Structure 1
Amino acid sequence: MRAPGDVVGGRTALVTGAGNGLGRAIALALAGHGARVVLVGRTRRPLEETAALVGDAARVALCDVSDPASVDTLAAELADESISILVNNAGVAGPVADLVDVRPDEWDEVFAVNVRGTYLVSRAFLPPMLARGTGDVVNIASVSGKRPLPGRTPYTASKMAVLGLTTTLAHEVGPQGVMVNSISPGPVAGPRMERNFAREAERSGTTPQAAEAEFVSRAALRRMVTEDEVATATVAVLCVPGLCGADIDLSAGMVAR
């Protein structure tokens, strides 16, 4: 494994969904190893908060990753940047409901951000990498794409789609020097999971604490992973020679096979 500073230092990374949560943690980790980081999201204020934490190595850019015109505008705006690391992190959790109770617009929103967004941003920023013959794409998937999660069909289906996108894209662009991999976090401790547990509790008639306890009981470590652990894994993926088309399970043992 190569040293992070040698692999990341001096490069420019684009991180979607960088205003908070995993995106912010990943941006901070990349900047900590010497990367210039372009912080992308739909809302300026949280992106600027992340930029303040990153420092001079940050650039803020607004974009709705589900909108082709917005992504095209982003690519034009960043034409002066030599982006060689792309982290497709933007995502939405979607509804907590049985499939028969999920509205079509709720289903479409999840796929628009989680899958279409990954496709659109990759399509926009891969050509310069291919022209240079080098680059890295890291897609943030989820263990929910690899095992049942009742009440979360749109989310799990979208994350399985991201896994399929990753493996196929790796074979398309790998011969030209671009590495494509994914990371599948398990439940990540933080406000997003707290909201999920609250919705699950309301749906099932239990308490948020009981919903969380049942959820983490499936993990070997009986806990959730942290944002910093996912950020560390993102940097690590970039440092492993020959890693292409792989999915890294980071779930505290929630998925073991």
Structure 2
Amino acid sequence: MTILPLEGRTALVSGGGGPLGRAFSVGLGRAGARVILVGRNEQALSGAARRVALEGGTVRTAKCDVSDPASVTTLKDTLADEDISVLVNNAGVAGPVKPLTNVTPDEWDGVFAANVRGAYLMCRAFLPPMIAAGRGDIVNIASVSGKRPLLNRTPYTASKMALLGLTRTLAGEVGPQGVAVNSLSPGPVRGPRMDHNFRLEAELTGSTPEEAEHAFASRAALGRLVEEDEVAKALVAMLAMPGLCGADIDLSAGMIAPS
């Protein structure tokens, strides 16, 4: 009988109703984990949960705004009966596509609330039981765009760089207590979110969405976007590497490779 790599573990995925959250959850379920999907959109969560179940996974959903301390506290209380040993901080927003001088303070704060504050609040809520158990994994979903320039996207890139700093410092804090903290930095992942970004970029530059996509993908060594299932497989692989801690895994088709 084959033992799946994550059998017996429970994984909490924020932003679980989005395309990438759904892909992560399906991958975790296939690897044997019990999956808890968290997000603000109950309809999207239900759709993602059905997909996980169709793939043979065990799944539960819970509504939560990870940027709101009260909502995260309620989530922690709701899930008090769960032995969560994997936390995937995937919730986030793309933010505005415009020069920094045109970005409003509310737009800036909104990006950091979802992309950084949310990860902090989720770690603060769900780390204590992991520390008490002497085991656990946290994976923060960062981005290759936190490590190289992405014009007209300063709030997003700054927030993803902040996640890298959170990952490395938190790894040093809780690693000695048995909890591994790492980050996964995808490049451009094919899907609705990137399609939306390409449309905004086209409007800003006077090009077509297809031209915007080609210009973006051509920066990668492999000359293409990353697929959702590739990112999900990378997450599962990271969780199967017990010595991985304080690391950032780049999965960008070579987006940070010199051109």
TM-score of the superposition, structure 2-length normalised?
0.96
State the one-letter code of the partner of 2:18: N
For 1:49, which of 47, 50, 55 is the aligned residue? 47
Residue in 2 that maps onto 1:89: 90
Query: 1:244 is matched with which residue?
Result: 245
SS at 2:4's partner residue? helix
Cα distance, 1:241 vs structure 2: 2.3
Would the aligned equivalents of 1:4 and 1:239 in 2 still touch at CA under 8 Å?
Answer: no
Residue in structure 1 matching 2:23, options 19, 22, 25 = 25
Alignment size in residue pairs: 254
Residues 30-179 of structure 1 correspond to what in structure 2 (within 5 A)?
A: 30-55=28-53, 57-179=58-180
Cα distance per residue 1:182-238 (max 9 Å; x no partner): 000000001100100000110111111111111011001100001111100000001
Q: Compute the displacement of 1:20 (Å).
A: 2.3
Matched, 1:204 2:205: yes
What is the identity percentage for the equivalent residue pairs of Structure 1 and Structure 2? 67
Deviations 1:44-92 (A, max 9, x none): 1110111112226111100000000000000000000000000000010
Q: What residue in structure 2 maps to residue 13 of structure 1? A: 11
Of stretches 44-53 and 139-148 in structure 1, the one that deviates more from structure 2 is: 44-53
CA shift digits 1:91-143 (9 cap, x unpaired): 10000000000011110000000000000001100000000000000010000
Which secondary structure does the structure 1 equivalent of 2:155 belong to? helix
1:45 maps to amino acid: Q
Q: Is the 8 A contact 1:179 1:245 kept in 2?
A: yes
Distance in structure 2 (CA, Å) of the matches to 1:59 and 1:29: 15
Task: Provide the C-alpha distance between the structure 1 equivalents of 2:135 and 2:242, rounded to a whole number of angstroms.
Answer: 13
Tell me how far apart the structure 2 counterparts of residues 20 and 70 of structure 1 sit (CA, whole Å): 19
Checking the alignment, whether the CA contact within 8 Å between 1:145 and 1:159 is kept in structure 2 is yes
Amino acid at match of 2:156: Y
Q: CA deviation at 1:4?
A: 8.2
3-state SS of paired residue (1:39): strand
Structure 2 CA distance, aligned partners of 1:169 and 1:143?
20
- Structure 2 counterpart SS, 1:5: coil
What RMSD over aligned residues (CA atoms) do the two structures have, in Å? 1.2
- The letter for the 2-side match of 1:26 is F
Q: List structure 1 runs of 4+ shifted beyond 3 angstroms.
A: none
- Which SS does the other structure have where 1:61 is aligned? strand
Distance 2:203 2:50 in 1: 37
When residues 163 and 4 of structure 1 are mapped into structure 2, their CA distance, relative to the original with a 3 A threshold, is farther
Match in the other structure for 2:229: 228
| Mapped partners of 1:4, 1:107: distance in 2 | 45
In 1, Cα distance between equivalents of 2:224 and 2:238: 23
The one-letter amino acid of 1:53's match is: R
